Amino acid sequence: MPRARARLLAAGFGLAWALQCAAGGGPTLADTGPAGATPADAPDRSAGPAAADEDEDDGRTWQAKFQTTYTFEKKLPFHAAYTGPNSLVTDPERSYTATATAYLGWRPWRSAEVFVVPEVTQGLPFSNLTGLGGFTNGELTRASGTNPRLYRQKLYLRQTWSLGGGREKEEAELEQFGKFVDRDRFVLTAGNFAALDVFDDNLYAKDPRTQFMNWGNMAYAAYDYPADARGFAWGLAGEWYEGDWAFRFGRMTVPRDPNQLSLDHRLASHYGDQIELEHGHTVAGQPGRIRVLAYRDRARMASFQDALVYLETHPGSDPQAIFAVRTGDKVKYGFGVNAEQAIGPDLGAYLRAMHSDGHTETLAFTEVDQSLAAGLVLKAAAWGRPLDNLGLSFMQNTISRDRRNYLEAGGISFFIGDGALRYAPERIVELYYSATIVRDVSATVGWQHIQNPAYNADRGPVEVLAFRLHAEF
């Protein structure tokens, strides 16, 4: 492990340990108890802390869980007036991803969790991963070719400090021990993880392995969150929960060069900062949440205005002019709103909307400057399949005037560039049905309709069919 990464992780461990000692042993977390426990039905604490600990905690210090997902997609042929270097190919194509992941957890003390996550990936994208703002399969961020490759995805510490407010149950999940926690608490995550592990959560649209598949449904498409080419980074993130409110903040590493694997560990000069405020509520007796997020990246990036000037003053040069003008540090920022709302026991709705400034090239995610995603998810209880889900979403992606001018002049960006542009918003409809085969094993069929791929009204529409198989154990 490079020294900078080791120092960062050690600092997180050290901070957690020092605060743990200062608290006289720190908070007590638990692994057992009824789901949905409230202060009224939590274990009886009248016998004192030791008895309460025995009631709540089975002493488990290790956890091993696994997942595997295979996603196959077929793109049908479509019409285009012209095709450029970074266009989506008009011929029919097939794409797939396959991932197998282990989530290995350890509790060094009762209020802390350490996870190491190794993963094997392989995959083949459409058109060498070019030609779209909203790519059709969120697993493609991890795929690195058609040969299986093992890498360490994450290595991090999560430390929790209890602040009262009653107890609630956290169910055991892939990266979470089952336990009781105080409703009011502070959580520190330090090490190598994904910004999306902490920020921009959504009950109905988050995980491309089990829910919607498009990138614009696993996160704000315009959220240029700090990450390497696979979607992970090193850093620190804090979460403060108080009643129905939560506040999150974090600083994480950015890539040395946009959309590359190598990370820049100089967190004082190059970084991605994000803050998020969340509020839980009920409407007509149904739960919901609203989150407001802001991010700010500082990194070595090219501005589209500089790239456009370069194209105009160097006729016949490489149309990917962003490489020629990537010479200094730039700042990129954005703001977003994320809402989820249960409409009834079997129906939920969500909405995400974000605006990014769009003056600079894409740093770590995709070629979108303003994004909107909204949809509905229905449990199939009405036809006797309560573990199945039917989802329908609409997405619209747009780009800034700076990015648009550059593409209209024939410029090529990292993921898109048709050689010309008749601008129109990229609009995507996604429909999926996920059927539970047996416990923790599901099969999904999906369809995506894409108008104006890469914001070009001279191309498309595009139809994509999908099949996905997912298992956890």
User: What is the signed CA dihedral for 83, 128, 401, 315, rounded to 10 degrees?
Assistant: -60
| Reported pTM | 0.86
| Phi, psi (rounded to 5 degrees) for 322 | -60, -30
d(CA 319, CA 418): 11
The fold for domain 74-94+162-472 equals: Porin (2.40.160)
pLDDT for residue 148 is more than 90: yes
pLDDT for residue 167 is more than 80: yes
Task: Cis check for the bond before 461: say yes or no (omega within 30 of 0).
Answer: yes
Angle 121-126-129 from CA coordinates, rounded to 5°: 75
Angle 335-374-273 from CA coordinates, rounded to 5°: 25
Question: What confidence score (pLDDT) does residue 58 get?
Answer: 54
Residue-wise pLDDT for 48-103, tens only, equals 343 344 345 556 899 999 999 999 999 999 999 999 999 999 999 999 999 999 99
Strand partners, 397: 371, 426
Instruction: Tell me what the pLDDT averaged over the chain comes to.
Output: 89
Average pLDDT over residues 234-245: 98
Average pLDDT over residues 185-213: 98
Q: How far apart are the first and last CA of the chain?
A: 29
Residue-wise pLDDT for 274-315, tens only, equals 999 999 999 999 999 999 999 999 999 999 999 999 999 999
Residue-wise pLDDT for 374-393, tens only, equals 999 999 998 999 999 999 99
Residue-wise pLDDT for 423-464, tens only, equals 999 999 999 999 999 999 999 999 999 999 999 999 999 999
Residues 6 or more apart whose Cβ sits within 8 Å of residue 460? 78, 79, 80, 450, 451, 452, 453
Question: What confidence score (pLDDT) does residue 143 get?
Answer: 79
